[in-house]
Amino acid sequence: MLGAVLCGGKSTRMGSDKALLQLGSKTWAEIAAYKLQQLHIPTCLSVNNAQATVLRSAVTDVALVEDAIELDVKGPLLGLLSVHATYPSKDILLLACDMPYMCVDVLQHLKATFENTTTEAIVFVNGEQLEPLCAIYSAKALQLLMAKYQQQSLVKYSMHYVLQQLEVTTIQVPLQWQNYFTNVNALSDLTNL
- Count of the separate structural domains present in the chain: 1
Is residue 156 assigned to a domain? yes
Q: Can you tell me the distance from the alpha carbon of 20 to that of 72, in angstroms, rounded to the nearest whole number? A: 26
What DSSP designation does 19 have? G
Q: pTM of the entire structure? A: 0.91
Is residue 157 assigned to a domain? yes
Tens of pLDDT, residue by residue over 172-186, are 999 999 999 987 665
Angle formed at CA 122 by CA 145 and CA 129, multiple of 5 degrees: 100
Task: Give me the pLDDT at residue 51, please.
Answer: 85
CATH number of 144's domain: 3.90.550.10
Domain range for 41: 2-181
